[in-house]
Structure 1
Amino acid sequence: MHVSPDTVPTMAFDWGSIKWFVTPSAIEGASSTLGEVIINPGQGHARHNHPNAEEIIYVISGEASQMVGDGEPFPIKEGDTVHIPAGAYHSTFNSTWRPLRLIVTYTPGGEEKALEGAPDLHLHEPGRVAEWRQA
Structure 2
Amino acid sequence: MSESGTRAHTVQAELATEVFDWGSIKWGVSADRFSGAPLTVGEVIINPTKGHDLHTHPNSDEVLYFIDGEGIQTVGDSGEFPVRAGDFVFVPRGTLHSTFNTGWRQLRVIAIYTPGGAELALRDAPDYRLLTPGASPVWERAR
**TM-score between both structures, scaled by the size of structure 1:** 0.97
State which of 6, 10, 16 in structure 2 corresponds to 1:9: 16
Local SS of the residue matching 1:113: helix
Q: Which has the larger radius of gyration?
A: 2
Question: Matched residues in 2 for 1:96 and 1:60: separation?
Answer: 13
* Deviation (angstroms), 1:26: 2.0
Which deviations, in whole Å up to 9, do the C-alpha atoms of 1:52-71 show, x marking residues without a partner?
A: 10000000000010000012
Local SS of the residue matching 2:77: coil
Question: Matched residues in 2 for 1:19 and 1:62: separation?
Answer: 18
Structure 1 stretches of 5 or more lacking a match?
A: none
Which deviations, in whole Å up to 9, do the C-alpha atoms of 1:84-121 show, x marking residues without a partner?
A: 01111100010111110000000000000001111101
Structure 2 stretches of 5 or more lacking a match?
A: 1-7
- Paired-residue identity, %: 51
Q: Contact 1:55/1:83 (CA < 8 Å) preserved in 2?
A: yes
Which residue does the alignment assign to 1:22?
A: 29
CA RMSD, Structure 1 to Structure 2 (Å): 0.8
Which residue does the alignment assign to 1:44?
A: 51
Question: Matched residues in 2 for 1:122 and 1:50: separation?
Answer: 20
Aligned residues: 135
Matches within 5 A, 1:114-129: 114-129=121-136
Question: Matched residues in 2 for 1:72 and 1:115: separation?
Answer: 24
